[in-house]
Amino acid sequence: MQIGILTGGGDAPGLNAAIRGVARSAFAAGADVLGVRNGWAGLLEVGDASPLRPADVSGILTRGGTILGTSRANPLAEDGAMEVVATNLGRLGIDALVAMGGDDTLSVAAALAERGLPVVGVPKTVDNDLQVTEYCIGFDTAVSVVTEAVDRLHSTAASHHRVMVVEAMGREAGWVTLMGGLAGGADMIVIPEFAVNLEEVIDHLHQRRRQGKTFSIIAVSEGAEVAGLPTPSAGGEPVDAFGHVQLSRRGIGERLGRQLEDVTGFETRVTVLGHTQRGGTPTAYDRIWATRVGVAAYELVRDGRFGAIPVKRGDRVETARLSEVITEPRLVPEDLYRLAQIFY
Catalytic sites, residue numbers: 127
Among 9, 25, 40, 34, CA closest to 124: 9
Residue 341, Cβ neighbours under 10 Å: how many? Answer: 10
Q: Is 148 helix (H, G, I), strand (E, B) or coil?
A: helix
Which H or E run includes 149? helix 139-160
User: By the 8 A CB rule, do 146 and 166 touch?
Assistant: yes
Contacts of 123 (CB under 8 A, 6+ apart): 102, 106, 130, 133, 135, 136, 137, 293, 309, 310, 311, 312, 325
C-alpha distances in Å from residue 85, one per residue of 41, 42, 107, 194, 306: 9, 9, 14, 40, 17
Q: What angle do CA 42, 48, 51 make, to 5 degrees?
A: 115
User: By the 8 A CB rule, do 112 and 86 touch?
Assistant: yes
User: By the 8 A CB rule, do 48 and 37 touch?
Assistant: yes
